Structure 1
Amino acid sequence: MFSVCYRWRCHRLVAPFLANLLATGLMLSSSAAFSADMDKWFRQFKHNASDQALYQLLWSLPKGGDLHHHLSGAGFSEWWYDIATQPARNGGYVYYTKTRLLQCHGYGTNEYGPNPQNLLFRTIQASTYQNLSECEQQEYELLSELDEHKKQAFFNSIRLDKAHEGRNEFFETHWQRLNELTSNPHIGAYILLKNMQAFAAEGLQYLETQVNVDRSITPAGERMPPEAALKIYTDTLASDAARQTGVVVRFQYALLRFLPHAEQHLRWMYDFVDKHRDIYVGINMVGREDNDKGYPLRFLPVLRELRRSYPAINLAIHAGEVDEPNQHVKDTLLLGAQRIGHGLNAITDADTLLLMRHGPYLIEINLISNRLLGYTPDYATHPFPEYLRTNIPVALTTDDRGMWDSRLTDEYFVAVKEFNLSWQELTGLARQSLQHSFLNATDKQAALATYEQRLGKFADTLSRSGTGSLPQPPAKRLFICQYQPTLCHQG
């Protein structure tokens, strides 16, 4: 028996075939008959259910992996503030944030660039603050002593909370405001743990996140050895709190592709990842594609050089996250990438689309990111359904979810509402995320088997008790309230 909830009233639907499958103990989600039965049920559910009921179902739905996840962009504002203002928990660091502009360097001097002086809520640690001039120090306040108005402004400064904000605000101010917060591995490990706990609550089982450790600094402002910084992360992963989430975590190392010495950094990280294959499963080339200095083929010679000396290392590279048509996705495949981050403009390259159909390459789809950063004017023009329904492997991912103030469930909700996903398509996204993860073959098969078991138990719960037995999601985040206001004003 299933329940369909409409305006919070639940109606029982008879599903004897599903009940028989459950009784036989078959692996339900791999059964074509089961999938067809669920597709029929889900079609009716979508037709009758309120937005609240649909969101509740998607919140509880078992999910596979999040493969496109920038850890430094995945912290909610409250998390950053919480750990940054507690020296006893963050490694002994104290932070100051800029709350007024006194033009200490004069107008037009050092206002922009990588170290902008005209940016409110740019955060620094005490060792940096102590080396400022008296005038500059007056621009800053202790982060822990902000009044409620300024605290809220700090929260809003590192997320896209206004309609006029877009990619320039995101790329040119958010990380610049976080600034030295991202150089503290204790904070990074805390943000990782909070992600694991939050993801576990919405049914995720695998997280592949980007963690860099070569630019960590101590409370005194000195460089921390990468091995020491990595140990802080791995100690967190070994903690009881992390283990209790049940979320399996692996790291990628991120290369900022347009920097002048990116090739040299790639050589270093190739060696580092090779030495830490137990936790690092790949390398990811990141950064704005509209900065032409990071064009993909720039890295072909150095990658060919490195492959002569190291066993294969997985590559997941941002490509196609740009407005104009180009061949960056094809060039990225030439570099050896197994996964494409975003892949938006692959739709303009017919040869590449044919290459990717039924192939070994997956596109990491970021619906919310692409819309908020203006890479697609609306969801109706997003290529995701074309990829999905022409058999190009895809998976839904969150990108910089802290800065969108969103959840993976929000990506699923948008996909269902905008593109009318079937049950088979919905659950296929989770399977593809695990099939195309960078886990080793044994762990990958175990992850897929675990997913099927979880999906079977989920279907069992629905058949026995209906959607009314599913847990209620916590208070909605900013994005989903803006996208679908009824979710925040009903119930």
Structure 2
Amino acid sequence: MFVLCLQWVVGPAAWAVGDEAWFDAVKQKATPAQLYTFLYAMPKGGDLHDHLTGAGRSEWWWAAALAQETHGYTYYTKVRINNCAPFDVNEYGRAPYLLLFRNLQESHYKQLSACEQGEFKRLQDLTPAEKTGWLNSIRLNKPYEGRDEFFGAHWQRLNDITRNPYIISDILLDNMRAFGREGLIYLEMMNGSMGFLKPDGSPIPPDDVVALYRKILASPEAKATGVTVRFQTSVLRFAPTAEQQLRAEYAFVDKHRDLYVGINFVGREDNGKGYPLRFLSTLRDLRRQYPAINLAIHAGEEDQPDHHVRDSLLLGAKRIGHGVNLIEDPQTMLLMRDNHFMVEINLISNLLLEYVPDFAHHPFPEYLRIGIPVALSTDDRGMWDSNLTDEFYVAVTNFNLSWHEIVTLGRNSIQYAFVDAATKQKLLKEYDQRIARFESEFKRKGWAAFKDVHPVNYSFACKHFKLCFPPKDPAAPTDSPQTNLPAALPHDFAVTN
């Protein structure tokens, strides 16, 4: 036991020589349910690549939207097509007409023609079948759904629901609670403060939205989760006004640096109008005006070779989101080895959006094992109906992660965060203490250490891992504690100190 303590006193580098036999035994002997429980209970550090509007589970959006009448909002959703639009309607625009379950707040619903109003119903008036359709409409739950469904329908359906700061605050709290139960201590979420609307459709000043976020994060409910939160703001890379957006977001982040710690470029990379070097001159101009602002840029989220990762580093990015096709750019891989640039790995996202044909083809283990810093993250977990435990389960079962590699992933998820230095050191210390305590407890008690651990998972794990943890009470909320661990958890994993 002295050796274990010494390793954590002298730092993570010394930990690499530690005994891994106990974790090898876990991987060899644990049932899938036991391994999942182990990973669920395990401290995980943070999640650095997480779109807040993509992180809301369908059930969370539903509950939050129905609760908004207290703030004066009522929502309608499209449940039928009355062929009200002209026949030359552009179905490939931002708001396609032939899209069921598109959501409008009442002020926008009242602007529709009588014919179009007949296509919509209030959320609270939906039949059970319509509610099921609504819930399924904003998650990838069919084998034939993929990249086009995600980029071309999910966000367009949510629509006005994402422009209510009270709903976004509810989704933030839902995520903090769920991630806290999974053992996370830090979230760095992509979440803006512009474009929000009052019930009458008039704009809400961004500073008012920031004040609401601060109030939520200071609340007892948020504090009780044990999760520290910071935000990035985003620029839609292929928008005609993307340069203007970037200038506005730069000024905004500079004004709120304690809460907003970076800027991200988002949107499909296969839309060529958003190529990274489009923004080089704008960023150089902004860096003449403002102290440094962190950049974490989506790059390499493609299934064909390009130089977007390299070009994003030239823009000043410190973290690369996805980096799937980095494997096709050996010179940039050499640049990133043992360097201070990190790749945010999203295994489930890359599978469901068809950037890899299966997990076995994902380049993650190559990056990890040649020295490119990486960390696991969830991207749009609500739309996958998954969690961070699922990401670790995929990584362990497909790539045989060592315990040292798992701990490195957890540390990276804090070490490469954009949070201020003092908070980062506090979080690193907390993570190191928690992961050491977790290991020590498991070595002493074996599976008895998890007698009070009740994993919470969702449809992704149920479908892909055949691991379903139904609520103890069928009528209980989806996120209630689960209790279907194997009746007899073996104790042959206990390690004598």
The TM-score with structure 1 as length reference comes to 0.93
Cα distance in 2, alignment partners of residues 473 and 257 from structure 1: 41
Match of 1:78? 59
Counterpart mapping for 1:316-395 below 5 A: 316-395=296-375
Q: 1:52 aligns with which of 33, 36, 40?
A: 33
Matched-pair identity in %: 53
Match of 1:219? 199
When the two chains are superposed, the root-mean-square deviation of aligned CA atoms in Å is 1.7
Which amino acid in structure 1 is aligned with residue 441 of structure 2?
T
Helix, strand or coil for the counterpart of 1:290?
coil
Shift of 1:225: 0.7
Cα distance in 1, alignment partners of residues 332 and 16 from structure 2: 31
Helix, strand or coil for the counterpart of 2:121?
strand
Counterpart mapping for 1:230-245 below 5 A: 230-245=210-225
Would the aligned equivalents of 1:21 and 1:28 in 2 still touch at CA under 8 Å? Answer: no
Cα distance in 1, alignment partners of residues 14 and 281 from structure 2: 50
Helix, strand or coil for the counterpart of 2:289?
coil
Match of 1:177? 157
Match of 2:441? 461
Would the aligned equivalents of 1:64 and 1:205 in 2 still touch at CA under 8 Å? Answer: yes
Cα distance in 2, alignment partners of residues 337 and 286 from structure 1: 13
Which string of whole-angstrom CA distances, capped at 9 and with x for unpartnered residues, describes residues 2-34 of structure 1?
A: xxxxxxxxxxxxxxxxx3446x68736946776
Q: 1:258 aligns with which of 238, 255, 274?
A: 238
| Worse-superposed segment, 450-459 or 53-62 | 450-459
Which string of whole-angstrom CA distances, capped at 9 and with x for unpartnered residues, describes residues 297-325 of structure 1?
A: 00000000000010000000000001210
Which amino acid in structure 2 is aligned with residue 484 of structure 1?
F
Would the aligned equivalents of 1:97 and 1:122 in 2 still touch at CA under 8 Å? Answer: yes
Would the aligned equivalents of 2:58 and 2:382 in 1 still touch at CA under 8 Å? Answer: yes
- State whether structure 2 residue 68 is matched by structure 1 residue 87: yes
Counterpart mapping for 1:38-437 below 5 A: 38-88=19-69, 91-437=71-417
Match of 1:452? 432
Which string of whole-angstrom CA distances, capped at 9 and with x for unpartnered residues, describes residues 372-405 of structure 1?
A: 0000011111100000000000000000000000
Which string of whole-angstrom CA distances, capped at 9 and with x for unpartnered residues, describes residues 232-255 of structure 1?
A: 111111110001111000010111
Helix, strand or coil for the counterpart of 2:22?
helix
Cα distance in 1, alignment partners of residues 87 and 392 from structure 2: 47
Shift of 1:205: 0.5
Distance 1:384 1:339, change over 3 A: same
More relative contact order, 1 or 2 (CA 8 Å, 6+ apart): 1
Unaligned stretches of 5+ residues in structure 1: 1-18
Shift of 1:476: 2.6
Shift of 1:465: 2.1
Cα distance in 2, alignment partners of residues 305 and 184 from structure 1: 33
Helix, strand or coil for the counterpart of 2:98?
coil
Which amino acid in structure 2 is aligned with residue 44 of structure 1?
A
Cα distance in 1, alignment partners of residues 444 and 42 from structure 2: 16
Distance 1:178 1:191, change over 3 A: same
Which amino acid in structure 2 is aligned with residue 293 of structure 1?
K
Match of 2:459? 478
Shift of 1:146: 1.2
Match of 2:493? none
Cα distance in 2, alignment partners of residues 77 and 29 from structure 1: 45
Across the two proteins, how many residue pairs are aligned to each other?
471
Which amino acid in structure 2 is aligned with residue 480 of structure 1?
A
Which amino acid in structure 1 is aligned with residue 181 of structure 2?
A
Would the aligned equivalents of 1:70 and 1:399 in 2 still touch at CA under 8 Å? Answer: yes
Unaligned stretches of 5+ residues in structure 2: 471-483, 487-497
Distance 1:31 1:231, change over 3 A: closer
Helix, strand or coil for the counterpart of 1:199?
helix
Shift of 1:467: 2.2
Shift of 1:87: 2.4
Cα distance in 2, alignment partners of residues 163 and 307 from structure 1: 45
Cα distance in 1, alignment partners of residues 149 and 185 from structure 2: 32
Helix, strand or coil for the counterpart of 1:406?
coil
Would the aligned equivalents of 1:55 and 1:409 in 2 still touch at CA under 8 Å? Answer: yes
Which amino acid in structure 1 is aligned with residue 375 of structure 2?
A
Distance 1:29 1:197, change over 3 A: farther
Which amino acid in structure 2 is aligned with residue 450 of structure 1?
E
Which amino acid in structure 2 is aligned with residue 84 of structure 1?
A
The TM-score with structure 2 as length reference comes to 0.92
Shift of 1:108: 3.9
